[in-house]
Structure 1
Amino acid sequence: MLNSIGVPPFRADGDAADAVAMLVGEEEDPTGLLAALGVQVPPLTPAGRTVAGRAIWVGEVETGYPAADAWERVRGVYSRTGLWPVLIEERTLEGLENFDPDDRGIELAEPDGRAWLERAWAQVVTEGVDSIPRSPRVLTAADLDHDGFGWADAWAVLDDDTEYLALVPAPQPWLVPHLLNWWGACNYDLDGSDHAAMLRRWAGHWGAELMGMGLGTIALRVGNPPQNDEEALAVSLERFLYCSDQVHQGVGTLDELKPHAAAPLWWFWWD
């Protein structure tokens, strides 16, 4: 059944958006710049530095819809600030505590999501393709009908732990897990470069944008999710290779993941 979606090869990554310039000084509170652009944010305080050495600013937000609204406002002016908003928990930034400042200035190589998937698939083949649970579940019209229940509604249902809106100086949104030295999937030997590769790939193909990061979770707002069963199955496989817990400890089979792949919010967690 897996061969029906053409594995391997995986299709090439989509084109990534151009990098955005940093328009805020390294030590400058961005509140004034955002206000000049018509965006109000909660009081901000510095919360450490990215692996590139630039200041991260955070402000407290209320969970659910208020957090989603705050994210959307700041995201709307990203191209004019260079600050990418991420909704985070208290411990999301802990990976920065273990980052060696002497490593600052080392640039991440251009991420290649297809190459990452090919390596992950090779491991599956070694273990046996039957290790991926399957079922007859087919994507339905009802799965694609999100009228009246968009990404912010899904976020409000899932969001129990958001405490802060973080403003991360980032030339590309998909670089944020790398810039924060995020360690939430370290038990699967994933690091910031792995997350950057997959987020860049999904940004190019599906308009996926990082919006939330917890202790072991990542949330993506997806502008153009899959619209048919074949696409949803292909994305489900990519999601499984990236985060198998959503099947093994979640929906149970690759095919039951299809409705989630076709949704406007993608949620990943690693136990």
Structure 2
Amino acid sequence: MRFPTAEVERAVTAAGVEVLGVRVPRERAREVWEEWRGRHSETGWWPYITLSSPTGMAEGRRESGRDAGVLEQWVGEAVCQDHDARAASILVSACRWAVEEVANVDDDPDLWRSDYDPDRLAPLLAPPVERPLRGVSQWATGTRDFFEKDLRWVHLVGARGGYEVPVLLPFVYTTWNWSGYGNRGLTPLDASALLRRWHEQWGAELFFAMGPYLELVVDRPPLDPRGAAQAAAELHAYCIDTVHDPVETGDTMARSTMWSLWWD
């Protein structure tokens, strides 16, 4: 109804997941996304913004060997798993990985541990802020780098929430240089656990996904040092390529309404 001349494209992935898509002007992509997010409880379709058509996304992703049964199992696990516990284990494994990396280097492991320990990180952050910092999209509606195009695709996927998208479309976002998520081989179930935790804790919603790029709209970002430290530590564990400095992230992105991540 908003774009009566727009043609809806439909594609089905090799695993049988249906994706609908329509192209919209870049400056209106957020508006369309917000509308369909608001109607998710009625439709069951979750929207996200990207640059690829449904057909291009379905044909270009490496889903061979993942049939509908595998995806059904993954989605079932994503729904039933203790996402808080899984997020905590990701934080612990990331810390262990970092400490082991510097074990033979003249460095203090405790300095690395503080990056992953919210209780140690919180005293290093700025005092509480009264309202969320304004987050700005870099890729969904912005013109950064090679994203200087006038149109965006809004995809719709049948899902309980944006946190299921990584298991329904395992390569909707990933990295160029690694076969898994990040540089420690995290799985789509790990991604789903983090996204669901962030959704329930801070109202984070999957907004933009493509290649090594991910953006989340955050309705209730943490404003106090302890909450911001928790978010920054988890973001650091998930995407160290973007979150180099958890202190800086805890004072800025973690307290903002947009989280933009990029795997190098």
TM-score range, shorter chain: 0.7 to 0.9
Q: How big is the shift at 1:214?
A: 1.3
Q: Distance in 2 between matches of 1:158 and 1:268?
A: 16
Is 1:168 the equivalent of 2:157? yes
Q: Which amino acid aligns with 2:166?
A: P
Residues of 1 paired with 2:71 and 2:90: CA distance?
Answer: 28
Q: What is the alpha-carbon distance in structure 2 between the residues aligned to residue 140 and residue 227 of structure 1?
A: 5
- The letter for the 1-side match of 2:257 is P
Q: For residues 88 and 29 of structure 2, what CA distance do their matches in structure 1 show?
A: 36
The structural deviation recorded for 1:107 is 4.0
Give deviations 1:83-122, integer Å, cap 9, x for gaps.
Answer: 1001012265533543532635324312333322332333
Query: In the alignment, which of 252, 255, 263 is matched to residue 247 of structure 2?
Result: 255
Compared CA separation, residues 257 and 152, structure 1 to 2 (3 A)? closer
Query: Which residue pairs with 1:43 in the alignment?
Result: 7
Q: What residue in structure 2 maps to residue 83 of structure 1?
A: 45
Name the structure 1 match of 2:218. Answer: 222
The secondary structure found in structure 2 opposite 1:246 is coil
- Whole-angstrom distance in 2 between the partners of 1:166 and 1:152: 17
Q: TM-score, normalised by structure 2?
A: 0.72
The one of 256, 259, 263 equivalent to 1:266 is: 259
Q: 1:118 to 1:129 in 2, by over 3 A?
A: farther
Where does residue 138 of structure 1 map in the other structure? 126
Per the TM alignment, residue 219 of structure 1 is displaced from its structure 2 partner at its CA by 1.0
1-side partners of 2:258 and 2:50: how far apart? 16
Task: Please identify, of 183-192 and 216-225, the stretch whose mean Cα deviation from structure 2 is larger.
Answer: 183-192
Q: What is the distance in 2 between the residues matched to 1:153 and 1:243?
A: 16
User: Residues 27-78 of structure 1: CA distance to partner in whole angstroms, max 9, x if unpaired?
Assistant: xxxxxxxx5xxx6573211122384x24111112232x31111111211211
Report the equivalent of 1:8: none
CA distance in 1, matches of 2:261, 2:14: 23
Corresponding residue for residue 20 of structure 2 = 57
3-state SS of the aligned residue for 1:47?
strand
Percent identity, aligned pairs only? 24
Give unpaired runs (5+ residues) of structure 2.
100-108, 116-120
Q: C-alpha displacement at 1:245, in angstroms?
A: 1.2
Matched to 2:159, the amino acid is A
2:46 alignment partner, SS class? strand
Q: CA RMSD in A?
A: 3.0
1:184 partnered with 2:204: no
Q: Provide structure 1 residue ranges, at least 5 long, that are not aligned to the other structure.
A: 1-34
